Amino acid sequence: MLRALHKFPGLIAALLIIVMTLSGAVLSVLPALETVQAPAQSDPTLTVATLADRIAIAYPGVEQIRRAPSGRITAFYFDAGRPGAVVIDPATGVGVAEYEHSAFQRWMTNLHRSLFLGDAGRLTAAAGAASLLVLSISGLMLTARRVGGWRRFFSRLRRGPLMGRLHVEVARMTVAGLLLSSATALFMTASTFDLLPQSSVPVFPAEVSGQTGAAPGTMGLLRDTPVDILRELTFPYPDDPTDVFMLKTNLGEGYLDQGTGAMLVWTNAGRWQRLTETIYMLHTGQGIAWLGLILGLMALGAPFMAVTGVVLWVQARRARPRIKDNVAAGQADTILLVGSEGGSTWGFAATLHAALTLAGHKVHSAAMSQFSPDRYTQAERLIVLAATYGEGTAPGSAKGFLDRLAALPKAPDMPLAVLGFGDRQFPGFCAYAADVTRMAKEKGWEQLLPMATVDRQSPQEFARWGRDLGGALGQPLELSHSPAIPRSHTLTLISRREYGAEMQTPAAILRFATPKTKLWARLTGRGLGRFSPGDLLGIVPKGSHVPRFYSLASGRSDGFVEICVSRHPGGLCSGQLLDLAVGDSVQGFIRHNPDFRPVRGRSPVILIGAGTGIGPLAGFTRANHSGRPMHLYFGARHPDSDLFYEDDLQEWREDGRLASVTTAFSRSSTHAYVQDALRADAERLAKLIGEGAQVLVCGGRDMAAGVADALADILIPAGLTPAVLKAEGRYVEDTY
């Protein structure tokens, strides 16, 4: 519900919000310019009486004196029947420049307030402000949910695509201004249409003295009124003894007799009037130029978020397959909920949905985050397909599911089946699906099937589970799934460096030319438009439809795509890659991996890898042009056979991109592994981590486990553990 509340107003009102916020940002600059250009008032004791006398001498036909919130004083007068207006120097009462209302400002104001459409335009602008208010509030709540609560609202974002993280970061910096601007805009619109109480206006005096000719300097009220609180002083019409002076100040307004100077009527500014004026000031920046500039800068965040929001919506729509015959939740006999991070699990859901529909079931498919048992009035079963993000956390489309499940007073009256998706090479294999199953059992939820898992998007395992599901339903169910592969690009091999021959473990550093990409792909990060070291290159080998992933040792700015590959016994993809000759091509695509990379800052970085796991670590080092302290610990079999990047490591050490390099070789005379090198350097490692260093580990799963054990021992004196560092985002693994 919250995501829908945030998404649909943004999509519908995106263009309107862009127009309103951009015009508002332009208008926000004008009060500051007016303040800078206005003649300064050097005498804080200057009264309205003195100012009016000075202006009346310089301009005998003065009709009105106005003081803007910026401090600019303007006199309007008639000279020989011709009107004039000048900006006044308060020290002399003489004009310093002709006053001309800016046609550009008038045009921009009409665009901002009403889109040049009168009352209909004002209502449309109000709808835009309301949409912006809803987006701001729902965005605040979604951000708090994403980072784990309000206390962590400004914590660093480490997950998700770059476009999404930029969207949230800009929102966090600008949401306060957008909330203020949208709320005050709605208030002002309501006031314009008389939907709110109006300020009281003094009644024109019924009786006057009938005398004329009193100078402003003789009037007691004007002598007691400082110019700093003046808003407007209107002179009586010449030769009309029934007319009066009208004075408006920050404190109120009233009428003065033009013959005696006596105050005839006065009305103090009420609380409502002061509130209205304060809201106008907060919205326009009139009177607080610096606030106007800040709000203008914040307003610029709205167009950026509108554009990125639409892009994210389009990307999500493309990543999620269209599910045909998706019936309403209240009419379905089968509820299919999906927890997915990158979108692949939705493909399996579409296959299952189609098979169940073909078998005669009415199926409703939705994200796990939309779990709402009260809506499932006709449901006979609930099926959950849940991927696992990272080391056991909920994927993007499953946010809040466990909280809703925990809040249920009792389990729904329908059996449950949970299918987990993951990769067995990771320690947290299907951990989130296991958490869902455990909590459901605690709630006493009947199990339609025992929890099952699918490893590395295996169609065979998915099909076996489908047959088990069919057995539980009492009908045959065949699931034939072909995973959707992202659009691939042709990568041509331009160089290769051979390793491992002496140890009978062939490996190579393969460098491919970066294919040309369109500007839009670079801006959005689609395809090979943008990639960084640590991202993953997906290769679909011939004879298989399941992609294999290799950590990138290069970024887009390097001008090439580079990976480290070791031949695995029976390895289909690794064999094909290592058989490539220079000039040969292969099809590949990028999967971004923003969690595995050095965080921003100058704190030290400890890079730990073994074998081809050095690939992304070399990429991080190559990109370290600022000379940030990076310490590499690298393990291999033999220095004469498996020392990847040997010449590069020497060069990076000499030019400061690497602070230190420590190697360990298991098949040399030392018989040491990388974790042995860590233990030998325990004192320095403990010191670096105590100084805030981040640890990045890449390589085989067994190596990563040994590294974690070694660091656990090293960090005991400091009272730290790898688990604590992981929770802080200072210990990240990329294992295979």
Q: How far apart are CA 126 and CA 380, in angstroms?
A: 45
CA distances from 46 to 53, 80, 98, 217, 534 (A): 12, 30, 23, 12, 68
361-383: per-residue pLDDT in tens? 999 999 998 899 999 999 999 99
CA distances from 371 to 104, 397, 401, 412 (A): 52, 11, 7, 12
Residue 307, helix vs strand vs coil = helix
Residue 308 has pLDDT above 60, yes or no: yes
Residue 285, helix vs strand vs coil = coil
Residue 585 has pLDDT above 90, yes or no: yes
pLDDT at 497: 95
pLDDT at 24: 86
Tokens encoding 139: 């965005």
Residue 627 has pLDDT above 90, yes or no: yes
Enter the DSSP assignment of 429: T
Residue 652 has pLDDT above 80, yes or no: yes
Which of 424, 416, 354, 356 is CA-nearest to residue 385?
Answer: 416
219-249: per-residue pLDDT in tens? 999 999 999 999 999 999 988 999 999 999 9
pLDDT band at 343 (very low <50, low <70, confident <90, very high): confident
C-alpha dihedral sign at 699, 705, 709, 715: positive
Per-residue pLDDT, averaged over 627-642, amounts to: 92
pLDDT at 601: 87
Per-residue pLDDT, averaged over 578-602, amounts to: 89
Query: Do 472 and 418 contact (CB within 8 A), yes or no?
Result: no
H helical segments located in 45-161: 48-58, 103-114, 118-147
Amino acid present at 360: G
pLDDT at 154: 79
Q: How far apart are CA 19 and CA 25, in angstroms?
A: 10
Per-residue pLDDT, averaged over 252-268, amounts to: 94
Q: What is the mean pLDDT of the chain?
A: 87
Residue 393 has pLDDT above 80, yes or no: no
Residue 632 has pLDDT above 60, yes or no: yes
pLDDT at 524: 54
Per-residue pLDDT, averaged over 265-279, amounts to: 88
Kindly report the backbone phi and psi dihedral angles of residue 561, in degrees, each rounded to the nearest multiple of 5, phi listed first. -110, 120
Q: How far apart are CA 496 and CA 14, in angstroms?
A: 49
670-695: per-residue pLDDT in tens? 889 999 999 999 999 999 999 999 99
Which of 463, 178, 155 is CA-nearest to residue 295?
Answer: 178
The rounded percent of the chain whose pLDDT value lies above 90 is 49
Q: How far apart are CA 573 and CA 570, in angstroms?
A: 9
Q: Which residues of 26-61 are buried (b: 16+ CB within 10 A; e: fewer)?
A: bbbebbbebbeebbebeeeebbbbbbbbbbbebbeb
Q: How far apart are CA 443 and CA 580, in angstroms?
A: 55
pLDDT band at 157 (very low <50, low <70, confident <90, very high): low
Residues 6+ apart with CB under 8 A from 232: 64, 65, 66, 67, 246, 247, 248
pLDDT band at 35 (very low <50, low <70, confident <90, very high): confident
Residue 255 has pLDDT above 80, yes or no: yes
Residue 316 has pLDDT above 70, yes or no: no
106-151: per-residue pLDDT in tens? 898 888 888 878 888 888 888 888 888 888 888 888 777 666 667 7
Cβ-in-10-Å burial (0-12, 13-18, 19+) of 295 comes to buried
Residues 6+ apart with CB under 8 A from 519: none
pLDDT at 621: 97
Q: How far apart are CA 650 and CA 646, in angstroms?
A: 7
Residue 729 has pLDDT above 70, yes or no: yes
Residue 267, helix vs strand vs coil = strand
Q: Are strands 334-339 and 630-636 parallel, antiparallel or unpaired?
A: unpaired
Q: How far apart are CA 528 and CA 468, in angstroms?
A: 40
Residue 533, helix vs strand vs coil = coil
pLDDT at 315: 67
Residue 523 has pLDDT above 70, yes or no: no
pLDDT at 593: 82
The rounded percent of the chain whose pLDDT value lies above 70 is 93
61-70, 316-325, 406-415, 561-570: which range is least confident on average? 316-325
Most confident of 30-39, 244-253, 497-506: 244-253
CA distances from 276 to 67, 181, 190, 266, 456 (A): 19, 14, 11, 20, 61
H helical segments located in 359-447: 401-407, 431-442
pLDDT at 188: 87
pLDDT at 161: 63
Residue 525 has pLDDT above 60, yes or no: no
pLDDT at 319: 62
User: What are the E-state strand segments in 599-685?
Assistant: 605-610, 630-636, 660-665
Q: How far apart are CA 707 and CA 128, in angstroms?
A: 55
CA distances from 72 to 41, 62, 330, 348, 733 (A): 9, 17, 64, 68, 62
Residue 469 has pLDDT above 90, yes or no: yes
24-38, 551-565, 571-585: which range is least confident on average? 24-38
Which of 273, 278, 277, 258 is CA-nearest to residue 201?
Answer: 273
pLDDT at 390: 63
CA distances from 406 to 65, 151, 337 (A): 68, 22, 17
Per-residue pLDDT, averaged over 537-554, amounts to: 87
pLDDT at 143: 77
